[in-house]
Amino acid sequence: MLEFFWRVYRKIRFKITNIDQRIIIKGKRASYKASKSIFVSESAVICLETNLSTQESGKITIGDKSFIRGNLEVQRAGGIINVGKKCYIGDGTRIWSAENITIGDNVLIAHNCNIFDNDTHPKDIKERRLDAEDIIWNGIRRNFCSLGKKPVIIEDDVWIGANVSILKGVSIGKGSIIGTGSVVTSNIPAESIAVGNPAKVIKKICGGM
């Protein structure tokens, strides 16, 4: 019984110590005050269903007039998420960083997408066991040596359809479209339409930008 209460206490303590911004409710929306780790433009909208959270030394930046419904989490120390101006991030979308995720201006990301700049768990079996225990029982994520991570770059004017997964190390060029349900494992050039698992370019966008 004592162990149970100790686990609950550690979870509550973790949540409290990681809340470094105040939320102001405005109707059915919430806006986050600027802090050392989270900066949201005054003209951006952060919906109530959204979660913005960072680990130590992580950073999240949301640009002017962006509308955020999904969850943005810096899950490992030093991770960065930068969202540009006039972007839309749909509900159920998860953007998880341990390295660096950069999203340009005027990017549309539909609902239930996953964008990860890391493998989410270490490859080494022993490290993976420790990682799972840390997450479940202590609410922390350490930077293990075998955790694969590479930056993700989504350039301006990209449109990402629903249920798309974008994996670590991927760059998506300006103006491209990623079809619904695709899994992006390699770079997509600018002004292209890509679909499938793994996503492949099926055509160029006529007329370009």
- Rounded to an integer, the average pLDDT of 25-30 is 49
pLDDT of residue 8: 57
Q: Which of 65, 86, 111, 121 is catalytic?
A: 121
Is residue 121 part of the annotated active site? The answer reads yes
- Rounded to an integer, the average pLDDT of 36-58 is 88
Mind listing the pLDDT tens digit for each residue in 67-119?
Answer: 999 999 999 999 999 999 999 999 999 999 999 999 999 999 999 999 999 99
**Reported pTM:** 0.84
pLDDT over threshold 90, residue 11: no
CATH classification (class only), 2-202: mainly beta
Q: Which two tokens stand for residue 2?
A: 């004592």
The 3-state secondary structure of 73-125, one letter per residue:
EECCCCCEEEECCCCEECCCCEEEECCEEEECCCCEECCCCEEECECCCCCCH
Every domain of the chain and the residues it spans? 2-202
pLDDT band at 57 (very low <50, low <70, confident <90, very high): confident
Mind listing the pLDDT tens digit for each residue in 60-79?
Answer: 999 999 999 999 999 999 99
Comparing CA positions, the residue from 34, 36, 40 lying closest to residue 57 is 36
Q: Which residues contact 146 (CB under 8 A, 6 or more apart)?
A: 122, 123, 124, 127
pLDDT over threshold 80, residue 18: no
